[in-house]
């Protein structure tokens, strides 16, 4: 017999009606020793299994069926007699596949009651089984697929950049070290410094903060490339917006300028969000209802003006507002919030590094749509960003989304060797360590641009969640590395 998923049965029920089939899943509910709500993870929805009394199922078997039990069901697909479902399965055979220690289950988040998100994080290995996290991670899977599909359709080459690296792409130094040393017996040189020449790679290495620099080398031969993989920041930031391990999407495109880069970012985001709307309807409807319920519990002044699905549709429908950093500073400086001291981080003028509250003010209160800021002061941006002709700003861009703030950061890259070397010297970036990066400017350098998208921030936006630890399976944060 064909092994079917519940999603198959519910979406193509006319093809299987009055057919016998076999399906597998976990019990979500069991009523009156007769009706089992079964789910297999393929969809948010359950299918009703009707225990056929004529089959003579033993009382001992039925007593073993509890919430969370894993079952193999063989039976006939029939039209449902109850409301709210099109079909159900009349079970002819039920097999319990694994242990279900029901008494111990009652001490976990699997017990049938509402739990706080904090409690669910403590049992992250079990939270996949809840409706909420099942929906979140199906959406994450769909979004990840859409990212690859977008780049494939646009003739990008997928590049695997190293996770272990000797290069600090951001120049911030907040990196996790990688070593094979016995930390109780670390070798040192005559100056008393750690002797990395004796380490596994014979040099100091770290977990990557970005695959951008390596992607640029590939772009110089392949034209259009992107990376999609884990990145790591040893930033001691215990907030709802930061993780120590997260997933980054980083395209790099030869012959693109800043305007091309902004166009790419907008088109990319709209494609991925539309894919989620088209392919995750049940999950997004569930998350939309949850989002609406959460808003009701907030003071009226703090409630979102749009529902979750409405917000996603509006982002797709509206062209992103493009605003220079200088114009944004003028808007923020003259805002009532700044003049009345309502910003947690007051702005003192041009050159300030914008915080999330400033970004969200521009998006949510001033413009009412996604915003792309561009041409930032050179002092607050990385060494590889292209210096503009006036010498004060660089061709950088950030895409700001409602409820999130920055969701994409990127720039036109500095393709001029002399200018790049000068910037590296001013910012104290080791040119000897990055000789290979400088080589890309020596041999056929071209204008090029790229950006980085933090996948988890995009999933936050699409699902309506508010804590980044709830949109990655096993969150890594300061003092937290379980599972």
pLDDT band at 160 (very low <50, low <70, confident <90, very high): very high
- Three state DSSP letters for 243-290: CCEEEEEEEEEECCCHHHHHHHHHHHHHHHHHHHHHHCHHHHHHHHHH
What share of the chain in percent tops pLDDT 90? 87
**Tokens in use for 2?**
């064909």
Residue 202 makes CB contacts below 8 A (sequence gap 6+) with 196
pLDDT band at 173 (very low <50, low <70, confident <90, very high): low
Residue 34 makes CB contacts below 8 A (sequence gap 6+) with 50, 51, 53
Q: What is the pLDDT of residues 18-58, one digit of tens each?
A: 999 999 999 999 999 999 999 999 999 999 999 988 888 99
75/54 Cα distance (integer angstroms): 13
The answer, yes or no, to whether residue 303 has pLDDT greater than 90, is no
**Positive or negative, the Cα torsion across 20, 25, 26, 28?**
negative
226/8 Cα distance (integer angstroms): 33
* Residue among 428, 441, 414 nearest 171 (CA): 428
**Cβ 409 vs Cβ 359: under 8 Å:** no
438/420 Cα distance (integer angstroms): 8
The answer, yes or no, to whether residue 291 has pLDDT greater than 70, is yes
* Residue among 405, 336, 403 nearest 372 (CA): 405
**Tokens in use for 238?**
């215990």
The answer, yes or no, to whether residue 172 has pLDDT greater than 60, is no
Q: What is the pLDDT of residues 344-383, one digit of tens each?
A: 999 989 999 999 999 999 999 999 999 999 999 999 999 9
Residue 117: its pLDDT value, please? 95
User: How many residues comprise the chain?
Assistant: 483
The distance of Cα 423 from the centroid of its chain, to the nearest Å, equals: 32
> If you average pLDDT over every residue of the chain, what do you get?
94
**Tokens in use for 180?**
């094979």
CA count, 13 A, side-chain hemisphere, 395: 21
Q: What φ, ψ does residue 142 adopt, rounded to 5°?
A: -65, -40
pTM over cut 0.85: yes
Residue 82: its pLDDT value, please? 77
46/23 Cα distance (integer angstroms): 12
Buried b (16+ CB within 10 A) or exposed e, 451-476: bbbbbbbbbbbbbbbeebbbbbeebb
Q: What φ, ψ does residue 46 adopt, rounded to 5°?
A: -105, 165
Residue 240: its pLDDT value, please? 87
Residue 52: its pLDDT value, please? 85
Show the domains of the chain with their CATH numbers. 3-107 (2.40.50.140), 131-174+209-470 (3.30.930.10)
**Cβ 150 vs Cβ 268: under 8 Å:** yes
> Residue 332: which H helix or E strand, with range?
helix 325-333
275/402 Cα distance (integer angstroms): 19
377/398 Cα distance (integer angstroms): 13
Residue 171: its pLDDT value, please? 61
Residue with tokens 């539309």: 274
CA count, 13 A, side-chain hemisphere, 419: 14
């Amino acid at each position: 017999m064909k092994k079917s998923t519940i999603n198959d049965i519910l979406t193509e029920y006319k093809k299987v009606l009055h057919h016998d089939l076999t399906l597998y899943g976990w019990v979500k509910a069991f009523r009156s020793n007769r009706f089992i709500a079964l789910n297999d993870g393929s969809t948010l929805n359950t299918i009703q299994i009707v225990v056929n009394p004529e089959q003579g199922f033993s009382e001992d078997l039925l007593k073993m069926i509890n919430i969370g039990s894993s079952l193999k069901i063989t039976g006939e697909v029939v039209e449902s007699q109850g409301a709210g479902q099109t079909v159900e399965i009349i079970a002819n055979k039920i097999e319990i596949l694994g242990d279900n220690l029901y008494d111990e289950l009652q001490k976990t988040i699997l017990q049938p009651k509402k739990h706080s998100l904090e409690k669910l994080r403590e049992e992250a290995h079990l939270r996949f089984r809840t409706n909420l996290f099942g929906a979140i991670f199906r959406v994450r899977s769909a979004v990840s697929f859409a990212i690859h599909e977008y780049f494939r359709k646009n003739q990008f080459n997928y590049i695997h950049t190293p996770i272990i690296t000797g290069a600090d792409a951001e120049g911030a130094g907040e990196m996790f070290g990688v070593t094979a040393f016995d930390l109780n017996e670390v070798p040192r040189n005559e100056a008393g410094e750690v002797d990395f020449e004796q380490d596994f790679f014979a040099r100091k290495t770290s977990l990557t903060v970005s695959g951008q620099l390596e992607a640029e080398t590939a772009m110089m031969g392949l034209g259009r490339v992107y990376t999609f993989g884990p990145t790591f920041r040893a930033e001691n930031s215990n907030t709802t917006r930061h993780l120590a391990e997260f997933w980054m999407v980083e395209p790099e495109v030869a012959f693109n300028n800043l305007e091309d880069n902004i166009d790419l970012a907008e088109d990319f985001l709209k494609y991925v969000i539309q894919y989620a709307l088209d392919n995750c309807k049940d999950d997004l409807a569930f998350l939309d209802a949850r989002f609406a319920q959460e808003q009701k519990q907030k003071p009226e002044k703090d409630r979102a003006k749009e529902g979750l699905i409405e917000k996603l549709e509006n982002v797709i429908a509206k062209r992103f507002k493009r605003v220079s950093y200088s114009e944004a500073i003028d808007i923020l400086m003259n805002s009532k919030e700044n003049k009345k001291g309502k910003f947690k981080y007051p702005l003192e003028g041009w050159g300030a590094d914008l915080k999330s509250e400033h970004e969200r003010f521009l998006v949510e209160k001033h413009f009412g749509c996604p915003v792309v800021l561009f041409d930032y002061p050179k002092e607050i941006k990385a060494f590889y960003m292209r210096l503009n002709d006036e010498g004060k700003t660089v061709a950088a861009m950030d895409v700001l989304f409602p409820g999130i703030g920055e969701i994409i950061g990127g720039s036109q890259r500095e393709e001029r060797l002399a200018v790049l070397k000068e910037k590296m010297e001013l910012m104290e970036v080791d040119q000897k360590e990055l000789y290979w990066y400088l080589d890309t400017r020596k041999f056929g350098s071209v204008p090029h641009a790229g950006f980085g998208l933090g996948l988890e921030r995009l999933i936050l936006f699409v699902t309506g969640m508010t804590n980044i630890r709830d949109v990655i399976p096993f969150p890594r944060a300061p003092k937290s590395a379980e599972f």
